[in-house]
Structure 1
Amino acid sequence: MTETNPPEVRVEIEGHVATVWLCRPPNNFIDLTLTAQIADALEALDANPACRAVVLAGEGKHFCAGADFSQRGRKAGDANASGRTIYTEGARLLQTRKPIVAAVQGAAVGAGLGLAVVADFRIACPEARFSANFTRLGYHPGFGLTASLPRLIGAQKTALLFYTGRRFTGEEALAMGLADEIVPQDGVLKAAQALALEIAGAAPLAIAATRATMRAGLSEGYERATAHELAQQTWLRETNDFKEGVKAMSERRAPAFTGS
């Protein structure tokens, strides 16, 4: 086994399967920095012919509980020194070439759901929770979910997730096609690695060609979607409802929205 250690992403490679760990336990909140590090890791694995499939996993309680709105002043459109945003870094995830299996042992919420949907497959457990909770925060869905989620589960089910902000269990996610397999919580990682190993046993050139066919247009759709999502998020972030949504979330109560 070989291992590399970027600051908040750890990569372990065993045989033809790599496991990419998000290392911000317990919640693995995502931002521009972490998204860029995940993209760096996946691009490095693309350049490694020994790697044929990837497992994406989160240390701690949750796979990825979304963005941390308690970090005031940080916005989805904020850019780093190179002018990159969380969404331009997210586009890099969709442009990588190795099949990805997400191991969802806890929450995949908001942008964390977007990250889970970047993967080709999702292994979850009964305790897993999936939610596109943006509108419950007075916010517009982001991380390309307006393009990627309808492609996965259909427009009607996506609308239900977006309009209600409802949380779905692992079993409910399986029923709607959001999860591909449900296993006991302590077996999520092993099941994800087993699926990745099975994929890695197929001919790598044939897998790459088939995956490119199956995911044709996904990266381009993500880029178009995030441009619109960011524009909507920018003005909604200045509303009273957004401030109330974030406050209510931090206080663990139902929001009292006023439409202003």
Structure 2
Amino acid sequence: MPKDFSASELGVDIKDYVATVEIRRPPLNFFDFELIREIADVYEALDERDDVRSIMLCADGKAFCAGADFSNRTDAQMEDDNAGKSKVDDEGVQSLYVEATRIFHCKKPTVACVHGAAIGGGLGLAISADFRVASPEARFAANFTRLGFHPGFGLTHTLPLIVGMQNAKLIFMTSRRFNGEEAVKMGLADVLAPAGEVRQAAWDLAREIAINSPLGTESTRATLRQGLAEAVKAATDHELAEQVRLRKTADFKEGVRATSAREIPNFIRG
């Protein structure tokens, strides 16, 4: 690999033209700027390898990616959010959503293995893949409105493309969790496999893609996804503006508090 990822929170294994990229932040694999940047870095490195024709994204632990971790947020951190501050790395590589957009520029076909929860930004990460293989125990949710918040990660563009506008509205406006069987029925997941076999099923799909012509497959994928990364960039620009605005509200603070306490929030529209 062009970069040494041995000390990262990602595992990378290449076999039979399939690169398995494993998130290693168990048990819940919460995401942040650094994790999304590392995934983007790995994808870009894999794009340059002739021995990789498809990617299988999976995770160690209970969840695929349970979204952002709000459980330990202090009042001071909430004030930082209310000031609209964005988290950047030491080199000032802008916001998390810029890194997320890099993921959508990946050239290789990708399969996400969702064995547990894919929540919020974790759902956005799963949807960045071309396909999703899920277990019945998987949980998919865009719980932004339960947090008093606006969806992010480009989901306002990508989710309706996959499940249709009506299902997308249902997912966003209820913050409901859908299991693997429900996800397959609405098109949110493509393959259902038993919990103990879901990773193998995801790898098998990635391998089925990899045995085809890499030039033909990548060309076809590029045509089908033409303009997607640019549309995600436009969506995240709007999403971020709305998130910054809503971070300043009492409802957002109440949503975070209630979610951390596992309570039903008492929103006041303020």
Q: TM-score, normalised by structure 1?
A: 0.96
1:139 aligns with 2:140: no
1:202 aligns with 2:203: no
Q: How far apart are the structure 2 equivalents of 1:5 and 1:159?
A: 41
User: SS of 1:19's equivalent?
Assistant: strand
2:87 to 68, 78, 86: 78
User: Quick one: structure 1 residues 213 and 132, their matched pair in 2 at CA, closer, same or farther if it must change by over 3 Å?
Assistant: same
Detail structure 1 runs of 4+ shifted over 4 Å in the superposition: none
Q: How far apart are the structure 2 equivalents of 1:178 and 1:213?
A: 21
User: SS of 2:242's equivalent?
Assistant: helix
- Listed as ranges, the gaps of 5+ residues in structure 1 are none
Q: How far apart are the structure 2 equivalents of 1:186 and 1:211?
A: 30
| Higher RCO by CA contacts (8 Å cutoff, separation 6 or greater) | 2
2:123 to 85, 108, 113: 113
Q: How far apart are the structure 1 equivalents of 2:97 and 2:152?
A: 9
Deviation at 1:153, TM superposition (A): 1.0
* Equivalence for 2:190: 180
User: SS of 1:66's equivalent?
Assistant: coil
Q: How far apart are the structure 2 equivalents of 1:179 and 1:190?
A: 16
Q: How far apart are the structure 2 equivalents of 1:91 and 1:209?
A: 20
How far does the alpha carbon of each residue in 1:125-151 deviate from its partner, in whole angstroms, 9 at most, with x for none? 110000000000000000000011111
- Listed as ranges, the gaps of 5+ residues in structure 2 are none
Letter in 2 for 1:109: I
User: SS of 1:27's equivalent?
Assistant: coil
Q: How far apart are the structure 1 equivalents of 2:208 and 2:5?
A: 24
* Equivalence for 2:100: 90
1:241 to 248, 251, 270: 251
Q: How far apart are the structure 1 equivalents of 2:159 and 2:205?
A: 22
Q: How far apart are the structure 1 equivalents of 2:5 and 2:148?
A: 39
Q: TM-score, normalised by structure 2?
A: 0.93
* Equivalence for 1:33: 34
Percent identical among aligned pairs is 52
* Equivalence for 1:130: 140
Q: How far apart are the structure 2 equivalents of 1:21 and 1:195?
A: 16
Aligned-residue Cα RMSD (Å) equals 1.3
Letter in 2 for 1:77: S
Alignment of 1:42-57 (within 5 A): 42-57=43-58
Deviation at 1:71, TM superposition (A): 5.0
Letter in 2 for 1:135: T
Equivalent pair of 1:102/1:122 in contact (CA under 8 Å): yes
How far does the alpha carbon of each residue in 1:82-129 deviate from its partner, in whole angstroms, 9 at most, with x for none? 232110000100001000000000000000000000000000011000
